[in-house]
């Protein structure tokens, strides 16, 4: 009995240490950790404990008739993002592969906001063909597009390949959102020009991007890895999300397009992406850590802040955590690597789809 109790104590201590290390690793320094844990507001006036509802309260003077596409809105952070944007009067387009789940989210939002306009369209972000189909359906609706939230995320535990034969996590999180953005960009640029309202794109990344070393960021290896490591594949895709945002921000500036694109780390939230990791260690870790994690309402705040707040108008090519600009890794900030990645992705898509992507 005593041995068993000692074993339990050692396990609990181990889990607490592990969780603490993760929190430390997810914040830039000790000051950042204290700020995170205490929810101390940063320059924006918001912090880790701010919710998406709170950070969009100043949005009463939003331009009318805004439309947003929110990927991954069937659960977790995306569902909360869609709810709060809809509450602020934004028309929501929900691309989803599970249409029943999407209909349920729509129903929940409309219970709270009966006037919310929500359109559901089919998409599988791991498939180029499906993304093309979604975009042509969306474009045929002939509605404006002001906001694009690239939020959907996959964390594939084992090596799986998409129908285009690319590693599943990289295909869904990065390649899918890259193609989606490219196919919708012209629409966004036109909408911004016609309405004089800045178009906004938010790439939902993760602090885990900073775990990737340069020699593990090789395009062809990420498409078809020889030795699969699930966490590494996820981190690579999240690093690619930031580089995509940074490169596109530069390109938009160069052509004077009124489009801002930023990336965010939403915080650690117990959503589907983490719930998939079943097991006693993960479960006990989340039980112990529940006070250190964010709620979904807090997890959606940085995305909503960048999508709607007047304070972030004109801000582009930046990385945000807890609604404040933050530092991403040196590799994520490497302009030449970002440009190289963009060219490689464009070449891949061009080769596969024979689709013209901007020069
Ligand atoms: N939770 C965290 O702690 C955390 C931390 C850092 C970053 N993030 C990022 O936050 C974003 C949202 O994740 P979450 O935590 O809210 O996870 P989640 O609850 O699992 O939501 C993921 C969403 O992505 C959708 N999705 C996955 N694969 C798709 C595909 N092939 N086609 C279309 N949709 C697909 C899912 O749709 P289905 O309903 O069909 O599965 C779901 O709506 C992700 O980008 C994630 O990387 C999360």
152, 173, 270: which to mutate for ligand 1, most atoms within 8 A of CB?
Answer: 152
Ligand 1 atom closest to the CA of 127, numbered from 1: 31
What is the Å distance from ligand 1's center to 155 Cα?
8
Contacts of 267 (CB under 8 A, 6+ apart): 48, 293, 294, 298, 299, 302, 321, 322
**Full pLDDT tens readout for the chain, 359 residues:** 666 566 555 555 555 555 555 555 555 566 677 777 788 889 999 999 999 999 999 877 899 999 999 999 999 999 999 999 999 999 999 999 999 999 999 999 999 999 999 999 999 999 999 999 999 999 999 999 999 999 999 999 999 999 999 999 999 999 999 999 999 999 999 999 999 999 999 999 999 999 999 999 999 999 999 999 999 999 999 999 999 999 999 999 999 999 999 999 999 998 876 655 656 666 666 666 666 789 999 999 999 999 999 999 999 999 999 999 999 999 999 999 999 999 999 999 999 888 667 76
What is the Å distance from ligand 1's center to 313 Cα?
26
Q: What is the pLDDT of residue 36?
A: 78
**Selected catalytic residue, list 228, 234, 305, 319:** 228
Ligand 1 atom closest to the CA of 208, numbered from 1: 6
19, 153, 156, 244: which to mutate for ligand 1, most atoms within 8 A of CB?
Answer: 153
- Check: CB of residue 84 under 8 Å from CB of residue 59: no
What is the Å distance from ligand 1's center to 76 Cα?
7
Dihedrals φ, ψ of 315, to 5°? -85, 125
- Check: CB of residue 300 under 8 Å from CB of residue 48: no
Cα 181 to Cα 293: distance, rounded to the nearest angstrom: 30
Residue nearest atom 3 in ligand 1 by C-alpha distance: 268
Q: What is the pLDDT of residue 293?
A: 87
Ligand 1 atom closest to the CA of 101, numbered from 1: 39
Instruction: Write b or e for each residue in 46-75: b if 16 or more Cβ atoms lie within 10 A of its Cβ, otherwise e.
Output: bbbbbbbbbbbeebeebeeebbbbbbbbbb
Q: What is the pLDDT of residue 270?
A: 80
What is the Å distance from ligand 1's center to 43 Cα?
28
Q: Show me where the domains of the chain are located.
A: 43-353
The CATH number assigned to the domain with range 43-353 reads 3.40.50.720
Q: What is the pLDDT of residue 18?
A: 52
Residue with tokens 């690597």: 337
In this structure, the residues whose C-beta lies within 6 A of any atom of ligand 1 are 72, 74-78, 97-98, 101, 123-126, 151-154, 172, 204, 206, 265-266, 268-269, 271-274
Residue 333's nearest CA partner among 253, 242, 206, 259 is 242
**Annotation marks residue 228 as catalytic:** yes
What is the Å distance from ligand 1's center to 324 Cα?
22
77, 127, 176, 320: which to mutate for ligand 1, most atoms within 8 A of CB?
Answer: 77
């Amino acid at each position: 009995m005593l041995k068993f109790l000692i074993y339990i104590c050692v396990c609990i201590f181990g889990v607490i240490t592990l969780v603490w290390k993760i929190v430390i690793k997810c914040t830039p320094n000790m000051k950042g950790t204290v700020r995170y844990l205490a929810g101390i507001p940063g320059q924006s006036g918001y912090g880790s404990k701010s919710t998406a509802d709170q950070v969009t309260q100043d949005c009463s003077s939003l331009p009318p008739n805004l439309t947003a596409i929110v990927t991954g809105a069937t659960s977790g952070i995306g569902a909360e993002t869609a709810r709060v944007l809809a509450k602020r009067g934004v028309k929501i387009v929900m691309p989803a592969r599970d249409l029943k789940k999407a209909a349920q989210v729509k129903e929940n939002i409309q219970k709270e906001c009966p006037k919310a306009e929500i359109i559901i369209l089919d998409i599988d972000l791991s498939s180029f063909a499906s993304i093309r189909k979604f975009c042509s359906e969306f474009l045929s609706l002939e509605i404006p597009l002001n906001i694009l939230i690239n939020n959907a995320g996959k964390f594939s535990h084992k090596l799986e390949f998409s129908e285009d034969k690319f590693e599943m996590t990289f295909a869904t999180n990065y390649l899918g959102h890259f193609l989606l953005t490219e196919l919708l960009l012209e629409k966004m640029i036109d909408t911004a020009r016609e309405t004089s309202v800045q178009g906004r794109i938010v790439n939902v990344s993760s602090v885990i991007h900073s775990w990737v070393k340069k020699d593990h960021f090789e395009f062809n290896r990420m498409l078809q890895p020889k030795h699969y490591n699930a966490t590494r594949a996820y981190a690579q895709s999240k690093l690619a999300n930031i580089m995509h945002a940074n490169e596109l921000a530069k390109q938009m500036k160069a052509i004077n397009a009124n489009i801002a694109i930023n990336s965010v780390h939403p915080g650690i939230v117990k959503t589907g992406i983490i719930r998939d990791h079943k097991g006693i260690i993960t479960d006990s870790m989340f039980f112990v850590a529940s006070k250190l994690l964010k709620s979904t309402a807090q997890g959606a705040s940085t995305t909503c802040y960048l999508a709607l707040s007047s304070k972030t108008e004109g801000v582009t090519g930046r990385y945000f955590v807890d609604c404040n600009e933050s530092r991403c890794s040196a590799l994520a900030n490497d302009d030449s690597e970002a440009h190289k990645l963009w060219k490689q992705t464009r070449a891949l898509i061009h080769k596969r789809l024979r689709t013209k992507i901007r020069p």
